[in-house]
Amino acid sequence: MTHSTPLATTANVSASDDKRHKYSFNKLEKRIRRAAGKAIDDFAMINDGDRVMVCLSGGKDSYTLLTTLRYLQKVAPIQFEIIAVNLDQKQPGFPEHILPAYLQAEGVDYRIIEEDTYAIVKDKIPEGKTTCSLCSRLRRGILYRTARELGATKIALGHHRDDIIETLMLNMFYGGSLKSMPPKLVSDNGEHVVIRPLAYVREKDIAKYAAAMDYPIIPCNLCGSQENLQRKVIKDLLKTWDRQYPGRIESMFKAITNVVPSHLADTSLFNFKALVADGEENELGDTAFDQAPVGDASQFIEFDEDDSRTPVQVIQLS
Q: Outline where 151-229 has alpha helix (H).
A: 161-170, 203-213
Give the confidence band of 13 by pLDDT, cuts at 50, 70, 90.
low
Q: pLDDT value at position 306?
A: 47
Q: Cβ distance 135 to 121 under 8 Å?
A: yes
Q: Outline where 53-198 has alpha helix (H).
A: 60-75, 98-106, 117-124, 132-150, 161-170
Q: Domain check: are 110 and 254 in the same one? A: no
Q: Domain check: are 80 and 155 in the same one? A: yes
pLDDT digits (tens, 9 = 90+) for 36-91: 999 999 999 999 999 999 999 999 999 999 999 999 999 999 999 999 999 998 88
Mean pLDDT, residues 146-174: 96
* Domain range for 187: 28-225
pLDDT digits (tens, 9 = 90+) for 256-266: 999 999 889 99
Q: Cβ distance 138 to 122 under 8 Å?
A: no
Sign of CA pseudo-dihedral 252, 258, 263, 266 = positive
Q: Domain check: are 185 and 251 in the same one? A: no
Give the confidence band of 311 by pLDDT, cuts at 50, 70, 90.
very low
In a domain, residue 230? The reply is no
Give the percent of the chain with pLDDT over 70: 82
Q: pLDDT value at position 215?
A: 97
In a domain, residue 36? The reply is yes
Q: Domain check: are 209 and 311 in the same one? A: no
Q: pLDDT value at position 91?
A: 84
- How many folded domains does the chain comprise? 2
Residue 228 pLDDT exceeds 50: no
Sign of CA pseudo-dihedral 101, 163, 256, 306 = positive
Q: Domain check: are 103 and 200 in the same one? A: yes
Q: What is the pTM of this model?
A: 0.84
pLDDT digits (tens, 9 = 90+) for 279-293: 888 776 655 556 665
In a domain, residue 301? The reply is yes
Indicate the residue among 191, 225, 259 that finishes a domain. Answer: 225
